[in-house]
Amino acid sequence: MKKTMLAIAAALALAGANPAWALTAKEIMEKAHLAVYYAGDDGKAHVHMEIVNPDGGKRIREFTILRKDVAEGGDQKFFVYFKKPADVRGMTFLVIKHPLGDDERKLFIPAIRMVKRIAPGDARTAFVGSDYTYEDISGRHPSKDNSELLGEETINGRKAWVIKNTPKTPQRDYAWRKTWVDQETFLVLRESYYDESGNEVKRFTMTKWGKVDGFWIGLAGKMENLATPHYTTVEFTDVKLNIGIPDTVFSERSLRNPPKRWVK
């Protein structure tokens, strides 16, 4: 009896000391990947992006993005409908994401009414000329990195795990990154990219988050290229999750004729 009490006490003490010990760095990154990129089975958002160059010159990108998960943590479909600037207005973009293979991308160019398949590109290529890469927008599969738990920190009043992620295949624009994952929501609060010599070259900061349709999601963020210094802010509005977007929305038909009901 006494022995049992001791065992329970010991267990409680351990649990109280650090409940996080239950999760490895890899598991945290997997949960973060799901929280950031797979909230709900589908969703839509209106995205406002401001790309700011060192002189303060500003370029605006506005689009509606629709997403549908094929498999949780696996394949996803994205449909993007551009509203601004004027030279890309009406352009649509369809991506079938294969997290461990090449994505399939199709672009509709309204001026010549042509659907064009785009050669799969480096995931670290800038998305619409911003400081966000394709990978930042659609997610990097955690199995592509070696993850190591560095400790815990409180940032913006939130308790976070700090994890060092080193890509298994070298990346052209950074050597490793440090990721702050919120302990309650599993959202990425901050991410710093370092070069080989340990200089911080790029930084993501989540600036706004909230609960939408029962899921915690990021609502605004900033990606800074610290060397230039060039940065992009992004804001999500009109976010909706689990809305039952039909598969047919992610088709060539939609590229040519964007479904009003979903992109409005």
Residues that bind other proteins (CB under 8 A): 51, 53, 57, 59-60, 84-87, 89, 96, 102, 104, 111-114, 117-122, 124-126, 128-130, 172, 230, 251-253, 257, 259-261
**Pick from 228, 254, 187, 237: nearest CA to 49:** 237
In the complex, least distance from residue 131 CB atom to other proteins, rounded to whole angstroms: 8
Question: By C-beta, is 104 or 148 nearer to other proteins?
Answer: 104
How far is the C-alpha of 71 from the C-alpha of 106, rounded, in Å? 21
Say how far residue 132 (Cα) sits from the centre of its chain: 10
How far is the C-alpha of 8 from the C-alpha of 185, rounded, in Å? 28
User: How far is the CA of 144 from the CAs of 134, 167, 171, in angstroms?
Assistant: 15, 6, 11
Question: By C-beta, is 50 or 200 nearer to other proteins?
Answer: 50
In the complex, least distance from residue 173 CB atom to other proteins, rounded to whole angstroms: 9
In the complex, least distance from residue 231 CB atom to other proteins, rounded to whole angstroms: 11
3, burial (CB in 10 Å: exposed 0-12, middle 13-18, buried 19+)? exposed
In the complex, least distance from residue 58 CB atom to other proteins, rounded to whole angstroms: 8
In the complex, least distance from residue 220 CB atom to other proteins, rounded to whole angstroms: 21
In the complex, least distance from residue 235 CB atom to other proteins, rounded to whole angstroms: 17
Question: By C-beta, is 133 or 179 nearer to other proteins?
Answer: 133
Per DSSP (E only), the strands in 156-214 are: 158-167, 176-182, 188-194, 200-212
For residue 40, the 8-state DSSP code is: S
User: How far is the CA of 212 from the CAs of 130, 141, 220, in angstroms?
Assistant: 26, 24, 13
Token pair recorded at residue 258:
């964007």
